[in-house]
Chains A and B, each alone.
Chain A
Amino acid sequence: MKLTKILVLVLSLCLMLVTFAHAGKDLDAVRNKGFIQTGVNGAVFGFGMPDAKGVWEGLDVDTARAVAAAIFGDASKVKFTPLSAQQRFTALQSGEIDILTRNATRTLSRETQLGLNFVTVNYYDGQGFLVSKELGVKSAKELDGATVCVLPGTTTEQNAADFFRTHKMAWKPVVIESTAELAKTFFAGRCDVLTSDASQLAGARAISADPKGYVILPEIISKEPLAPAVRHGDDQFRDIVDFSVLAMINAEELGITSKNVDEMLNSKNPVIQRFLGVSPGNGKALGLDEKWAYNIIKQVGNYGEVFERNVGINTTLGIERGLNALWTNGGLMYSPPFK
């Protein structure tokens, strides 16, 4: 008797932990839940990582907050699920998360075979080379015979091998498992070159004793457009996520920041009036509050602000805008008209 009672108790406790997340369309489900569940990396500084108090911060984290601000008018209505590289797509497919903002590269096979919709790129990354200034190398094409520190089994290793073969240069790879150890080895002088994604190189350079003594060479040998993704099947939700990213870019183009957004509400410029919902239309078209873009800019900031706050030149990473500058400044960030 006693045993049966305990069993029933245990089983019902287990059932309490089984939740029925949603049924039906993604947007309705998100609205019913009252928050967005997003998948993040969890261990990449500047993109998605908890700080010393356990509060999430990073470029990807802020992107997810922008979507929450658009849908709920409250950037804090978002919950984060840290995911490993293997789990990330399954978590999205199975509905464990609503959006994936986890520095995932957009590729054809992921878009089609995995059934994902990538939206506007929020960070253009690419593989580069970090060398000591003392080496006196100006271009990656002068690296013949170099010893190269590289992570094993990644596309990074493959890309580097391809690059050296294409340019008929000899190289000696030094393969080390963990990123932190790899950087340590490089700074200890065991190899001439460290190769990884440019954003990672910036992070690695930051931990060296003399960050000014190292340069990232101009050659970028692979394309890594990192973009948020949603599942196939709910186009309206996809549009909202897409335009949340675009709204941050558009705000930067229009010169609207989190500081001046309230003054901008009085702007006479019809483009700004439409964007901030002073003259209505955009919100209704997306199925959101007319204030959606205002909320994003007010609570999260425009793309430039988010970039500078998380990875920009004044942070530990110290990454220059480069490809991530606005198209007017020679970058790739470009927003379609908001009308």
Chain B
Amino acid sequence: MAESTTVKRERLKPPITNVGVLGWLHTNLFNSWYNSLLTIVTLIVMAFLLPPAFQWAFVDSLWNSSAEACRDIDGACWSVIPNNIRFIILGFFPSGQEWRPILAMVLLLTLVVYSKERSRWKSSLLWLWAINLIIMGTLMYGGIFGMPVVETSQWSGLPLTFILSFFGMIVAYPLGILLALGRQSNMPAIKTLCVVYIELIRGVPLISLLFMSSVMFPLFLPEGVTIDKVLRALIAIILFTAAYIAEVVRGGLQAMPRGQYEAADSLGLNYSNTMRLIILPQALKIVIPPSVGILLSVFKDTSLVVIIALYDVLKTTMVTLSNPKWAGYSRESYIFLALLYFGFCYAMSSYSRKLEKELHTGH
């Protein structure tokens, strides 16, 4: 047995301040004097704000109690949500029929999640959507299979928010593309029409359009003819959104190099094929981020229908708060709503980032 002559050399470790937790802290939070200062100030502010907030929200709070029990505590009264959840989410939908809007919403969300994968984007998916929309409409309206009719005036809460924002987006997007193409058109009549429409709509706030549709518009109709209130609000939202989409899409169209148009011309494609096969697929890809921005704001803007007394999820919450029993708990209710809106908006924006990455082909 020969003794090993190799001397075991201890491997030198990097300095303790470069690895592990300390290393991370050093590179991310204390890498220069002003960042260190910022970190310390932030920590101090958090130390002041977080414990009381935590105490309020989790320690001193009640999660499922009566309104009377809430009067005696200093913390958050989250009980306002479970006690009123039925009205906040479903509003006026007749009792005993709650499963219908819930099922419709589940169908819608499932379908949205299913459609996320680009490999499933085929014409069969369109049919699936069409069939499901009919099923959802039937579920909401009823009238067959022994389901009592529920009029649109009773559609409220979260289903109404979904209807207004979903159809607002789906219908406004193609309309916006048409308007953008019209604005680029060589035909002066169409061009003027589109420019006037876009500038007119962009020149007024959404609230004024909603007021027009709910207060002014009925006065112009012949006596006795009424148009569904939800439909009127929906049309206002669609018209409003389309104008903004149009400008975004126009940006995409203008970003296309001249060569793309010329290449299409040299292939002998006519106008609709040029647009459909060459220009729009590229232009729309460019404008994904701003389009999603607009779609997000449509989703949030639907809450403006409170001013025309449609009971979307914001309004049903506000009504709950006007019951003297629950009137003091606006903070808790609005935090709940904020989380609800944030959840949907965050899902939409993270999906758009994923889509952008997938569609990025590197030119």
A86 contacts chain B at the CB level, 8 A cutoff: yes
- The count of residues in chain A whose C-beta lies closer than 8 Å to any C-beta of chain B is 46
Contact A42-B319, Cβ < 8 Å, known A14-B231, A52-B86, A84-B308: yes
Inter-chain CA distance A28–B154, complex, in Å, is 25
In the complex, the chain A residue whose C-beta lies closest to that of B223 is: A95
CB distance from B99 to the nearest CB of A (A): 15
Residues in B whose Cβ lies below 8 Å from that of A51: 87
Q: Is the CB of B95 within 8 A of A316?
A: no
Interface presence of A135 (CB below 8 A) = no
Residues of A within 8 A of B327 (CB): 180, 183, 203-204, 207
A45 at the interface (CB under 8 A from B): yes
The reply to whether B215 and A90 contact each other, CB–CB distance below 8 Å, is yes
Q: Give the CA-CA distance A52 to B83 in the complex, in Å.
A: 8
| Residue B321, interface by CB 8 Å | yes
**CB closest chain-A residue, reference B311:** A82
Verify A180–B319 contact, CB threshold 8 A.
Answer: no
Tell me which residues across on chain A come within 8 A of B71, comparing CB atoms.
Answer: 209
Residues of B within 8 A of A274 (CB): none
Asked whether B30 is an interface residue with its Cβ less than 8 Å from the other chain, the reply is no
Shortest beta-carbon distance from A138 to chain B in Å: 26
Knowing A21-B224, A22-B224, A183-B327, say if A54 contacts B92 (CB, 8 Å).
yes
The proximity string for A residues 163-199 relative to B, scoring 1 for CB distances below 8 Å and 0 otherwise, is: 0000000000000001111011000000000000000
Determine the residue in chain B with the shortest Cβ distance to A205.
B324
Decide: A206 and B324 in contact? CB cutoff 8 A: yes
Residue of chain B at shortest CB distance from A19: B226
B319 touches A87 (CB 8 A): no
3 residue pairs, one from A and one from B, having the closest CB atoms: A94-B218, A206-B324, A17-B228
- For B153, the closest partner residue in chain A by CB is A81
Q: Is B221 engaged at the interface, CB distance under 8 Å to the other chain?
A: yes
**Contacts A43-B322, A87-B215, A95-B226: A207 and B86 contacting too (C-beta < 8 A)?**
no
Q: Which residues of chain A have C-beta atoms less than 8 A from B219's C-beta?
A: 90, 93-94
CB of A224 within 8 Å of the partner chain: no
Among candidates A20, A53, A91, residue contacting B218 with C-beta atoms closer than 8 Å: A91
Q: Is A83 an interface residue (CB 8 A)?
A: yes
| Minimum C-beta distance from B311 to chain A (A) | 7
Task: Enumerate A46-70 residues with CB–CB distance to B below 8 Å.
Answer: 49-55
- Judge whether B286 is part of the interface by a CB distance below 8 angstroms: no
Chain A residues near B154: list those with CB within 8 A. Answer: 54
Instruction: Report Cα–Cα, A179/B321, bound state, in Å.
Output: 10
Q: Are A50 and B87 in contact (CB under 8 A)?
A: yes
Decide: B309 and A82 in contact? CB cutoff 8 A: yes
7 new A-B contacts at CB < 8 Å, known A90-B215, A180-B322: A17-B228, A53-B87, A86-B307, A91-B218, A94-B219, A96-B229, A184-B330
Q: Report B-chain residues with C-beta under 8 Å of the C-beta of A53.
A: 86-87, 95
Q: A53-B95, A94-B219 are in contact. Are A42 and B309 (CB under 8 A)?
A: yes
Neighbouring A residues of B90 by C-beta, 8 Å? 54
Contact present for B87 and A52 (CB under 8 Å): yes
A20–B34 alpha-carbon span in the complex (Å): 70
Instruction: Determine if B37 is an interface residue (Cβ-Cβ < 8 Å).
Output: no
Name the residue in A14, A54, A83 with the highest tally of chain B Cβ atoms < 10 Å from its Cβ. A54
State whether the Cβ of B227 lies closer than 8 Å to any Cβ in chain A: yes
Q: Interface readout for B75-96 with A: 1 if CB under 8 Å, 0 if not?
A: 0000000011011001111110
Question: Which residues of chain B have C-beta atoms less than 8 A from A55's C-beta?
Answer: 95
B142 at the interface (CB under 8 A from A): no
Residue among B216, B224, B322, B330 making CB contact with A49, cutoff 8 Å: B322
Nearest CB in chain A: distance from B119 CB, A: 24
Shortest distance between the CB of B134 and any CB in chain A (Å)? 10
Cβ contacts under 8 Å, B330 to chain A: 178, 180-181, 184
Q: How far is the CA of A44 from the CA of B91 in the complex (A)?
A: 16
A317 at the interface (CB under 8 A from B): yes
A45 touching B322 in the complex, CB below 8 Å, given contacts A17-B231, A183-B327: yes
**Residue A291 lies at the interface, judged by CB distance under 8 Å to chain B:** no
- B214 and A87 contact, CB distance less than 8 A: yes
B236 to chain A, nearest CB (A): 14
| Chain A nearest Cβ from B73, distance in angstroms | 11
Q: Does A79 contact B (CB under 8 A)?
A: yes
Question: Given A17-B227, A42-B319, A54-B92, does the pair A316, B221 have CB atoms closer than 8 Å?
Answer: no
